[in-house]
């Protein structure tokens, strides 16, 4: 028997099934540590989370973002109008976890986001959002009333240097920047149109415009306000609340003979305030302190203390200040012609000049005052000697003759033009 060589078995090895070799080659892989493992099909990504949708009122643009999803290679974003029967559009794809989209109109919408990879797309996340139109614009402030608000001088005429003022009343409070202006007209027409510039009123509903009379301003028929002449002149008039620009239209005012203009008239002199004459003996006595015993009338003269540079008649008022009003039984302005007991017993001639009379209450609890009134010496006879020309001397004598001793409490009585006197 002959022996077979090695090549006898070669044909058999070549006849092994080719498919089995191919499967082993594909499925059998070796990890880095030499162990054998088998590959599996990839899984689809999970459901996105943390979807946020941002819109802006009056805009159709929408911004979306969400958290990254493990295993996702891309994201598919689709949206539709909310409500039955509305289908998702084709949408957009993005590799980032955010997308900018545009809605086709205002209203409720639904956005859907899916995470995808080679194996497909996972479970979607859907959320509704609102695309709102811009709010209706706030109504513009409008001019509701026009008036000449200044008062002319004598003969209903504005003279040289006097100011003509026109006030526009708006439907709401407005704020002003710059110097808006409006136009008035003088008659006869030769003197024509004049600008009246903004003066005051910002933050209120009434704006005042002013024009000062200069040569040769003249209007025998009075001034008129020209319709719709208000202009911004580089400034602005806006609603104080909404900042809406004001409507500039307004009504006209016809020529008014009660507001004539004549630059040739000199303006009236301003009325001057009364003055206090401090260089008089009465002033020294009036501001000095004197005691007023309980239950007795005291007085101070203000004859010659006040004068008016323009010769106007003055009126007076008297008041007690400093929290001591309860000490007075009566405080009045009068003359020595009053039919009171003390005045009737006065040995001196009756004065026609005015005096302030004060009677201190005899019954009030002075210790209850805050702070308590100090119980000091009353008026002494010796103190009255220096007032022989003052009616206070008589008052003291009456107090002593009536049995009042020096230790009897007395209120202090003095004049103070800034407090006790209120000049009307």
Give residues with Cβ within 8 angstroms of 368, minimum separation 6. none
For CA atoms 402, 405, 407, 413, give the dihedral sign.
positive
State mean pLDDT over 326-332.
71
In this predicted structure, what is the pLDDT of residue 403?
34
State mean pLDDT over 46-51.
95
Helices (H), 110-237: none
What is the average pLDDT score of the chain? Answer: 75
CB 318 within 8 A of CB 363: no
Q: How far apart are CA 246 and CA 254, in angstroms?
A: 24
Q: How far apart are CA 401 and CA 99, in angstroms?
A: 107
In this predicted structure, what is the pLDDT of residue 324?
61
pLDDT higher than threshold 90 for residue 361: no
pLDDT higher than threshold 50 for residue 375: no
State mean pLDDT over 123-136.
94
Whole-number percent of the chain with pLDDT over 90 = 47
Residue 242: name the closest of 171, 170, 169, 139 by CA: 139
User: Which neighbouring-strand residues pair with 186?
Assistant: 192, 223
Residue 253 to residues 192, 297, 340, Cα–Cα distance (Å): 15, 62, 61
> Which two structure tokens, joined as six digits, stand for 117?
């990879």
State mean pLDDT over 79-84.
95
In this predicted structure, what is the pLDDT of residue 356?
77
Q: How far apart are CA 385 and CA 370, in angstroms?
A: 33
CB 153 within 8 A of CB 271: no
**Cα 301 off chain centre by:** 49
Q: How far apart are CA 357 and CA 302, in angstroms?
A: 11
State mean pLDDT over 362-383.
47
């Amino acid at each position: 028997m002959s022996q077979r060589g090695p090549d006898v078995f070669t044909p058999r090895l070549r006849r092994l099934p080719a498919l089995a070799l191919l499967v082993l080659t594909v499925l059998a892989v070796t990890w880095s540590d030499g162990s054998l493992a088998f590959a599996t099909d990839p899984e689809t990504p999970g459901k996105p989370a943390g979807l946020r949708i941002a819109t802006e009122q009056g805009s159709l643009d929408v911004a979306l973002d969400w958290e990254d999803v493990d295993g996702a290679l891309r994201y598919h974003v689709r949206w539709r109008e909310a409500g039955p029967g509305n289908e998702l559009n084709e949408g957009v794809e993005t590799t980032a976890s955010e997308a900018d989209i545009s809605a086709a109109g205002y209203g409720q919408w639904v956005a859907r986001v899916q995470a995808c990879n080679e194996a497909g797309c996972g479970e979607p996340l859907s959320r509704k959002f609102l695309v709102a139109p811009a709010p209706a614009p706030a109504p513009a402030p409008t001019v509701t009333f026009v008036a000449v608000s200044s008062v002319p001088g004598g003969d209903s005429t504005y003279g040289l240097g006097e100011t003509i003022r026109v006030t526009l009343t708006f439907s709401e409070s407005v704020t002003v920047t710059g110097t808006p202006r409006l136009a008035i007209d003088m008659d006869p027409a030769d003197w024509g149109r004049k600008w009246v510039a903004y003066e005051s009123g910002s933050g209120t509903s009434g704006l005042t415009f002013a024009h000062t009379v200069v040569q040769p301003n003249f209007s025998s028929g009075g001034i008129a306000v020209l319709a719709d002449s208000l202009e911004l002149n580089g400034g602005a008039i806006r609603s104080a609340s909404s900042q809406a620009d004001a409507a500039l239209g307004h009504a006209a005012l016809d020529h008014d003979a009660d507001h004539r203009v004549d630059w040739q008239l000199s303006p009236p002199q301003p009325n001057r305030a009364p003055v206090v004459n401090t260089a008089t003996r009465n002033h020294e006595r009036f501001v000095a302190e004197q005691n007023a015993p309980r239950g007795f009338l005291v007085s101070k003269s203000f004859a010659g203390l006040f004068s008016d540079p323009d010769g106007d008649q003055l009126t007076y008022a008297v008041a007690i200040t400093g929290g001591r009003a309860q000490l007075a039984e009566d405080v009045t302005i009068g003359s020595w012609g009053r039919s009171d007991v003390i005045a009737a017993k006065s040995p001196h001639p009756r004065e026609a000049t005015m005096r302030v009379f004060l009677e201190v209450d005899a019954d009030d609890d002075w210790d209850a005052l805050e702070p308590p009134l100090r119980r000091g010496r009353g008026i002494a006879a010796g103190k009255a000697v220096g007032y022989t020309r003052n009616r206070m001397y008589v008052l003291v004598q009456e107090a002593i003759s009536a049995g009042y001793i020096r230790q009897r409490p007395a209120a202090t009585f003095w004049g103070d033009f800034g407090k006790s006197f209120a000049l009307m």
